[in-house]
Amino acid sequence: MNAGAKEHKQSSNAVYTRLKKICTHVQRNIPLKKRNSFRIQSRAEFFAAPSEPETIAALVSFCRSENIACNILGGGTNVLLSDEHVSGLVIHTGKLDRITVDGNRIFCGAGVPMGRLVKTAYRHKLSGLAFASGLPGSVGGAMYMNARCYGSEMADVVTAVKCLTPELTLTVLPRDRMDLAYKQTTFQRGYIILAVTFTLAAGDRNTIHREMKKNMRDRIRRQQFRYPSAGSIFLNDYSLGEPSGKIIDDLGLCGTRCGKAMVAPYHGNFIINTGNARARDVDELIGMVQRVVKEKRNIELHPEVQYMGDWSISTARDMK
């Protein structure tokens, strides 16, 4: 072991010891392949899944004070992890998993899977969330991006979000302070979502179930679950009058490959992992599609997928 590697190991050991004092469940060198929907082979240098907001705040505060990278990971369905390694600490929201129902309101931890939320609403005959049937990922991630499908979005049903501000103050934001727009929210400016309150309408269970089944069947018909992917890669610009997927498809880019990453033959706005694709493959394919669309149509496509890990600014596309 050379001097540089030895020094890094000693520094890493010291950081690990201090993190363990904040959260005893901190782990090292944790595989993330099963925690991201692209199934990218990556590992977290340090990994924690706290169940209390105070612990999350303490971990983030420590990382900031020591200039250590810190990332929040939910369901991993809208992220592109860097190959092999994510430096610093990954905080997973999986243990923020409490869900309660009070009348027509559902209080839901950020780590609750969207499927569990949708089924809870259905069981309590609450209407308004069937649009999210089959939507992968966690409640926190869906709220962060104001997830949208089948003509509805999270903004239609959310009333409050418990979160940590960029200054790590615990607060509850009402809907009118969330700056909700297409795939945009206040939370993208350094907030950490902890829990979400939904206000729904009383509904007929059979009617809700029919809508859930219809949407799920449509996702299956579109082969959205056939290969690992992050769902839609590019934002839509509704002023163009056509979605990004159609623009990509019309230019004959479906089926284009870079390594094991491919523009899905059945959906222009999906990039799929056909077998052990690298993050670099996906990123290069994103750039290739952007260049062709710009050259042929003079349209700039902007990724909605979030880059996480050890990316250089010059490599990651349009990082937010």
pLDDT tens across 232-289, in order?
Answer: 999 999 999 999 999 999 999 999 999 999 999 999 999 999 999 999 999 999 999 9
H/E stretch holding 306 reads strand 306-308
Question: How far is it, in rounded angstroms, from Cα 166 to Cα 177?
Answer: 15
Give the pLDDT confidence score for residue 166 in this predicted structure. 97
pLDDT digits (tens, 9 = 90+) for 20-42: 999 999 999 999 999 999 999 99
pLDDT above 60 for 174: yes
pLDDT above 80 for 6: no
Q: What average pLDDT does range 9-23 have in this prediction?
A: 90
Respond yes or no: is residue 304 known to be catalytic: yes
Selecting among 42, 82, 133, 304, the annotated active-site residue is: 304
With contact defined as beta carbons under 8 Å apart, do 111 and 138 qualify?
Answer: yes
Span of 6-15, 50-59, 90-99, 138-147 with lowest mean pLDDT: 6-15
With contact defined as beta carbons under 8 Å apart, do 198 and 175 qualify?
Answer: no
Question: How far is it, in rounded angstroms, from Cα 119 to Cα 116?
Answer: 5
Q: What average pLDDT does range 190-207 have in this prediction?
A: 97
Selecting among 82, 138, 232, 244, the annotated active-site residue is: 232
**pLDDT grade for 151, boundaries at 50, 70 and 90:** very high
Q: What average pLDDT does range 87-94 have in this prediction?
A: 98
pLDDT above 50 for 141: yes
**pLDDT grade for 222, boundaries at 50, 70 and 90:** confident
Respond yes or no: is residue 37 known to be catalytic: no
3-state DSSP assignment of residue 231: strand
Span of 6-10, 45-49, 91-95 with lowest mean pLDDT: 6-10
Give the pLDDT confidence score for residue 111 in this predicted structure. 98
Give the pLDDT confidence score for residue 9 in this predicted structure. 60
Say if residue 47 is exposed, middle or buried (CB neighbours under 10 Å; 0-12, 13-18, 19+): buried
Mean pLDDT of the chain: 94
